Amino acid sequence: MANRTLFQTLRGAFVPRTDAINDAAAPAYARTPQATLAQLAATGSLNRTFYASAETQLDRVLEAAQQVDTDFLARTALYARRRAFMKDMPALLCAVLATRDLDRLIEIFPQVIDNGRMLRTFVQILRSGVTGRKSLGSAPKRLVRQWLERASERQLIDASIGNAPSLADIVKMVHPRPTDPAREAFYAWLIGKPWNPDVLPAALRAFEDWKRDRAGEIPDVPFQMLTAQDLGEKEWAAIARKASWQTTRMNLNTFLRHGLAKNPELIRLIAKRLADPDAVRRARAFPYQLLVAFMNAAAEMPHAIKEALQDAMETALANVPDIAGRVVVCADVSGSMQCSVTGYQRGASSKVRCVDVAGLIAAAFLRKNRDARVLPFECDVVKLKLNPRDSVMTNAAKLAKIGGGGTNCSAPLQLLNSEKAQADLVIYVSDNESWMDARPNGRGTGMMHEWTRFKERNPAARLVCIDLVPNVSVQALDRKDILNIGGFSDTVFDLVAAFAAGADGTDHWISEIEKQPINTRMKIA
């Protein structure tokens, strides 16, 4: 009998040969430049991940950005900000555009650089020289100046929070022209020059008055300006009562450290605010943000507030699709998934790991699709029984507690094939760095071999691979029945829903990015 390794079956011949090596040093398929840029833009925080350094990520972004046309580059920046809710990557892509196509940058600048933090990040990146220039230059300087001139008083006050560079530094760089006495007083106040208190914006005037005698109501200024002062429990309670939904979510532990647990009335108020479905929708809260708040909540956080976060999660998951047919969700719980989902940053790494997000997405699909089957995997599939009636937070936590071995992305499909199982949609949530199932001589990935076998039994089945990290390869090639997408915002649910309803997986994600509208009415001349 001839050697079966050399003379593959017809099934094996249908599996595409690999053309790349992933970050785990195993065979994989290379993404196109467009797909690479999309993946990096939707998942990259420019911090060290399990496999790639921050410098490697930056090099990859810059390389991919040079390989795509400027129209796609601009729309990717818009997508990363509007749909993936990223912060650094959209600003980086705008900085690249500043060296490639100023007209495109002018068109998208107000839509991507939509708050003070984004403005400061854009200036920081551009002046660093990594995109090819070390000064703002006349056109970017004009864009920054016009952003400042068109910003509302509240936007400017909010933008005054933060450093490196600070808003004061930026004002000194671009020299915006004050359009009225109030704006002139604000700039003077910002950069430490004498200012006229009679024309200072009302919120700042109230803040300066309050700092002197601490009398009257807490002024309506950014939370950070107040917390920089020496406050007592009474002032902290007043701040908590007036806080927005997002400020409340982000500062629960701060409120706890300053007397929240001693105030039953305040506990009830905060819990009601967090759980309010209308408030959750108005805040455009997405599940990852609630997972962050829930996981970061101190052990002594009042139970009512933790319950409220779980209630808010149910509201935030409204767009998780209810999929017709049999659904299997494969959650990667391998060792590399223990990495912080936004990468390692000294002193500032997110407590939320990739495995936590994988657990969240899997639990969310189970919540809306009660008959779905969840298969956690590492070296092999890990046995775990989940109750679809349990909360998403509960099931996500159960998934995140298991695993830790090597990555074998083909393991769930191998199990389904051994069982001769039937399914209509298989969803993977992973870092895509499979290496335990590596096949020799570029003869396809283990995952593609198992998917080919699975399709023989389930010809109408579809495969979704949700990738949580900024990498440049995949384990299954895009095609009509296979969709690769990246990110950890709830936008992935929209993409999965469209694909499950029949959208072509071939470049489906790329086509969604290419549809991003550029609102030329917001263009700064």
Q: Helix H segments across 218-302?
A: 223-227, 233-242, 245-250, 252-257, 264-275, 277-282, 287-296
Structure tokens at 521: 């009415």
Do 309 and 290 meet the contact criterion of CB atoms below 8 Å apart? yes
What are the distances in angstroms from CA 378 to CA 330, 357, 431? 10, 16, 11
Look up residue 349 and give its amino acid.
Answer: S
Average pLDDT over residues 229-256: 92
Task: Select from 3.40.50.410, 3.30.70.360, 3.40.50.720, 3.90.1150.60 the CATH code of 320-514.
Answer: 3.40.50.410
Which helix (H) or strand (E) is 473 found in, with range?
strand 473-474
- What secondary structure letter does DSSP report for 258? T
Position 349 scores a pLDDT of: 77
Query: Taking phi first (over 0 means left), then psi (-120 to 50 degrees means alpha), and beta for anything else, what does residue 124 get?
Result: alpha
Residues 290, 393: Cα–Cα separation, whole Å: 9
Do 143 and 188 meet the contact criterion of CB atoms below 8 Å apart? no
Residues 348, 486: Cα–Cα separation, whole Å: 23
Please give the model's pTM, rounded to 2 decimal places.
0.91
Do 432 and 465 meet the contact criterion of CB atoms below 8 Å apart? yes
Parse the chain into domains and list their residue ranges: 232-317, 320-514
- What secondary structure letter does DSSP report for 414? H
Residues 279, 272: Cα–Cα separation, whole Å: 10
Structure tokens at 161: 């929070």
Q: Is 141 exposed, middle or buried (0-12, 13-18, 19+ CB in 10 A)?
A: middle
Give the pLDDT confidence of 80-117 residue by residue, as tens digits.
999 998 999 999 999 999 999 999 999 999 999 999 99
How does residue 524 score in pLDDT terms, banded at 50, 70 and 90?
very low
Position 376 scores a pLDDT of: 97
Phi, psi of 137 (to 5 degrees): 80, 165
How does residue 523 score in pLDDT terms, banded at 50, 70 and 90?
very low
pLDDT at 366 over 90: yes
The torsion defined by the Cα of 433, 328, 417 and 32, in degrees rounded to 10, comes to -40
Give the three-class secondary structure for 37: helix
pLDDT at 2 over 70: no
Give the pLDDT confidence of 333-361 residue by residue, as tens digits.
999 999 998 888 777 778 889 999 999 99
Query: Nearest to residue 415, comparing CAs of 474, 367, 373?
Result: 373
Give the pLDDT confidence of 278-309 residue by residue, as tens digits.
999 998 888 888 999 999 999 999 999 999 99
Give the pLDDT confidence of 63-76 residue by residue, as tens digits.
999 999 999 999 99
